[in-house]
């Protein structure tokens, strides 16, 4: 779809949850960085799967199992093409981004990271891209190092060569920050890592939602993302990894589906990706995520990105007029995704969110699983409005009107 044909008002009609009132006011849903709403096309695929095809995958010879397996593997092809993975076999179904990162930190990390080695992440990471590496460092004796952020919430890359050294085994970085909206220069980090032979993992939970991601062009080794922020169901996500790395890795979890032969004392493993998919997977979730890719592909991620940058330009301009409002993150729209974190005078972000909720405006308030970011800026929490393909200027106006109420109460 071209941007001329892109109509958020029409797109909203695809999302049943957007069509409701909250406390008597129409819902303005601005918590998309936490999770997106789901289009009817995805909801229908989920219920059709359970109503007609429900069966376990890869196991049965009967027709329902065949159908479920075909749909499950077709969804793998769809998510692979969404990120331009060279092969669907390189896409492992996980519970989400968090599990994908834990998979790498455990299955790759425990065999490749040891005492004296270094793991590099950044201060702006979501806890999902911090804690797994802390666990790995504690188990192996490796050192966890951080790329700092500046006052606009950008990575400080001066002196990157002193942070990425021969001791660095893995660098794990988000392509887009969930708390600040910063779009990170992943390729620069990949180049510096390649120079010392370090592996690069990208936390793509926010990136894959808003821009065209091409893992081959990025040049990273692992890319993690989930379904629920991109119109798909919760509880499903993908780890993409380079085939030779995945093939050389030990399994993450043991169980059914991931084996070739089980003997009394040992077992051999199924081929990638099944080696990493122990137990019954989230079959409906995977099929639903495939349907979300179809839905978004029909609209076009490029048109969505243009729409979001227009909404962001409008929102930043309107919010900059609100007295006492402090925005966090890059001031330039060029390196900023569809997220605005802010504080307002002495009003606690939870109070801001509560007052907005009474006006039907849903935002997030808290540390956004990014406590290191909060610490960097000397705040305990922020309010966060985040936009998506169905966001409108009216949503932004409703947010600003709600903030007038906050100002009236808190002065």
Binding-site ranges for ligand PLP (CB under 6 A): 96-98, 126, 128-129, 174, 178, 203, 205-206, 226, 237
CB of 271 to ligand PLP, least distance (A): 26
Nearer to ligand PLP, 226 or 402 (CB): 226
Nearer to ligand PLP, 129 or 168 (CB): 129
| Other beta carbons within 10 Å of 315 | 23
Look at residues 308, 251, 244 and name the one whose alpha carbon lies nearest to residue 275.
Answer: 251
Which 3 state secondary structure label does DSSP give 155?
Answer: strand
What is the Cα–Cα distance from 240 to 175, expressed in whole angstroms?
15
Interior/surface letters 15-45, b for 16+ CB within 10 angstroms, e for the rest: beebeeeeeeeebbbbbbbbbbbbbeebbeb
Is the backbone peptide bond immediately before 273 cis, with ω within 30 degrees of 0?
A: yes
CB of 4 to ligand PLP, least distance (A): 31
| CA angle at 406 for the pair 401 and 408, rounded to the nearest 5° | 95
Instruction: Specify whether the backbone of 19 is left (phi greater than 0), alpha (psi in -120 to 50) or beta.
Output: beta
Beta strand pairing status for 118-122 and 168-174?
Answer: parallel
Q: Which residues contact 71 (CB under 8 A, 6 or more apart)?
A: 49, 53, 287, 290
Nearer to ligand PLP, 208 or 258 (CB): 208
CB of 314 to ligand PLP, least distance (A): 23
What is the Cα–Cα distance from 146 to 100, expressed in whole angstroms?
21
Nearer to ligand PLP, 98 or 140 (CB): 98
Tell me if residue 369 is catalytic: yes
| Other beta carbons within 10 Å of 367 | 17
CB of 246 to ligand PLP, least distance (A): 20
What is the Cα–Cα distance from 88 to 207, expressed in whole angstroms?
20
Q: What's the Rg (C-alpha) of the chain? A: 22
Nearer to ligand PLP, 55 or 135 (CB): 135
Q: 368, 337 in Cβ contact below 8 A?
A: no
CB of 33 to ligand PLP, least distance (A): 6
CB of 128 to ligand PLP, least distance (A): 4
Which 3 state secondary structure label does DSSP give 216?
Answer: helix
CB of 97 to ligand PLP, least distance (A): 3
Q: Which residues pair with 121 in a beta bridge?
A: 146
Q: 251, 273 in Cβ contact below 8 A?
A: no
Nearer to ligand PLP, 69 or 174 (CB): 174
Q: Say which of 91, 220, 231, 369 is annotated catalytic.
A: 369
Nearer to ligand PLP, 6 or 133 (CB): 133
Please list the active-site residues. Answer: 369
């Amino acid at each position: 779809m071209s941007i001329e044909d892109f109509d958020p008002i029409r797109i909203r009609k695809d999302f049943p949850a957007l069509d409701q009132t909250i406390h008597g006011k129409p819902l303005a849903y601005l918590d998309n960085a936490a999770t997106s709403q789901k289009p009817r096309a995805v909801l229908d695929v989920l219920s059709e799967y359970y109503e007609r095809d429900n069966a376990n995958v890869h196991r049965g010879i009967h027709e329902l199992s065949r159908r479920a397996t075909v749909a499950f593997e077709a969804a793998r092809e769809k998510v692979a093409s969404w990120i331009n993975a060279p092969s669907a076999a390189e896409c492992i179904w996980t519970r989400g981004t968090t599990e994908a990162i834990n998979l790498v930190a455990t299955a790759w990390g425990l065999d490749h990271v040891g005492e004296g080695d270094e793991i590099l992440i950044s201060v702006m990471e979501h806890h999902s891209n911090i804690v797994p590496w802390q666990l790995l460092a504690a188990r192996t004796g490796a050192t966890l190092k951080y790329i700092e952020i500046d006052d606009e919430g950008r990575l400080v890359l001066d002196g990157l060569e002193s942070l990425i050294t021969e001791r660095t085994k893995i660098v794990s970085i988000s392509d887009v920050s969930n708390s600040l909206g910063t779009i990170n220069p992943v390729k620069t980090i990949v180049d510096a890592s390649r120079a010392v032979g370090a592996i690069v993992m990208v936390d793509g939970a926010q990136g894959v939602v808003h821009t065209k991601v091409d893992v081959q062009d990025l040049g990273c080794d692992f890319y993690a993302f989930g379904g629920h922020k991109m119109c798909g169901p919760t509880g499903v996500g993908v780890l993409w990894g380079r085939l030779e790395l995945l093939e050389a890795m030990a399994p993450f979890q043991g169980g059914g589906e991931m084996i070739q032969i089980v003997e009394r004392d040992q077992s051999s493993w199924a081929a990638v990706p099944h080696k990493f998919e122990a137990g019954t997977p989230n079959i409906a979730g995977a099929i639903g995520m495939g349907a979300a890719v179809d839905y978004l592909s029909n609209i076009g991620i490029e048109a969505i990105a243009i729409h979001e940058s227009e909404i962001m330009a409008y929102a930043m301009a309107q919010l900059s007029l609100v007295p006492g409002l402090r925005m966090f993150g890059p001031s330039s729209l060029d390196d900023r995704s569809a997220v605005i974190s802010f504080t307002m005078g002495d009003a606690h972000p939870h109070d801001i969110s509560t007052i907005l909720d009474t006006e039907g405006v849903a935002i997030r308030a808290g540390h956004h699983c990014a406590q290191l970011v909060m610490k960097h800026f000397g705040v305990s929490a922020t309010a966060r409005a985040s936009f998506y393909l169905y966001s409108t200027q009216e949503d932004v106006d409703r947010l600003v009107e709600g903030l007038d109420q906050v100002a009236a109460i808190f002065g």
